[in-house]
Amino acid sequence: MKSKGRFVGQRWWSIGGLPSVFLLCLFFFLAGLFGSTLVSHQDVQLLTVRPRSRVLESVEEFDVLPNGDTGEHSLTSIPFQVLSWFPRALYFPNFATIEQCQGIVKMAKADLKPSSLALRKGETAENTKGIRTSSGMFISASEDKTGILDLIEEKIAKATMIPRTHGEAFNVLRYETGQSYHSHYDAFDPSQYGPQKSQRVASFLLYLSDVEEGGETMFPFESAQNMDANYDFRKCIGLKVKPRRGDGLLFYSLFPNGTIDPTSIHGSCAVIRGEKWVATKWIRDQEMDE
């Protein structure tokens, strides 16, 4: 490109007697120049506007490798967004279908009871009233005759690469207007709860409904903000994740070395308008009994 340009430039001075040839050259040179800037400009636009489709395209062109006995012979695409490193939190858009969400809500509705808390020394049901005001129920994938929870559980296992045997039963929760869950840890600190047989490593929340207003999952200490002794556990601050039906939120309660990540504290902001439905799966470092 550059040498061509210089060639045309020399002609300008030496071949004054052949204006038509020169003009023709100039025309093609300029056409080439503008054409190429136009194309490269479009490339840039394509990259910035539609990066996702490019990523998917390249995945489709990938030749799958021979899989092991416990592996799979095709590629799985589960898109996610890293929401935070402190705590380690990932967002999975469209993790479940609308029909799957509706099915889970339907199976949970009949069995809802007021949600309870794991109590620390000195805590009673009475003096912890108001900390968690949702209703909920537990259901394992094997109890669900529709097969929906089986599919969801398998997908969670793939997304986390933690086997299904490490998951507790699904806890399906409903928050009505005004209901919330003060900030808390899903992991159990032995200094507060006594020795633990196993520990919760991560939590996967599947949002089963949209919420008109409020009801966000909040991480008040995200990136070590607000970590002072005066933090009011009711306060809806920090990183807030707005529930969207079918989307999943995964976060880790433990660091890779097994200690509790202080920034994994989280809660549910009060629902202001609408109703919030969520299915939670707690994932442990040990296999569950049974």
Q: Work out whether 257 is an interface residue with ligand NAG (CB under 6 A).
A: yes
What does the angle CA 241 – CA 245 – CA 248 come to, to the nearest 5 degrees? Answer: 55
Closer CB to ligand NAG, residue 94 or residue 192?
A: 192
Closer CB to ligand NAG, residue 45 or residue 259?
A: 259
Contacts of 193 by beta carbon, 8 Å cutoff, 6+ apart: 118, 120
Q: Which residues pair with 198 in a beta bridge?
A: none
| C-alpha span between 146 and 153 (Å, rounded) | 13
Q: Work out whether 255 is an interface residue with ligand NAG (CB under 6 A).
A: yes
Q: Work out whether 259 is an interface residue with ligand NAG (CB under 6 A).
A: yes
Tell me how far, at minimum, the Cβ of 85 lies from ligand NAG, in Å: 11
Closer CB to ligand NAG, residue 3 or residue 257?
A: 257
Q: Work out whether 85 is an interface residue with ligand NAG (CB under 6 A).
A: no
Tell me how far, at minimum, the Cβ of 227 lies from ligand NAG, in Å: 13
Closer CB to ligand NAG, residue 177 or residue 225?
A: 225
| C-alpha span between 83 and 91 (Å, rounded) | 6
What order of strands is seen across the sheet that includes strand 200-207? 81-85, 88-92, 248-252, 200-207, 276-284, 170-175, 135-139, 113-114
Tell me how far, at minimum, the Cβ of 257 lies from ligand NAG, in Å: 4
Q: Which residues pair with 167 in a beta bridge?
A: 283
Per CB under 6 A, the segment of 84-92, 154-162, 255-263, 273-281 that binds ligand NAG is 255-263
Under the rule (CB under 6 A), what is the footprint of ligand NAG?
Answer: 255, 257, 259
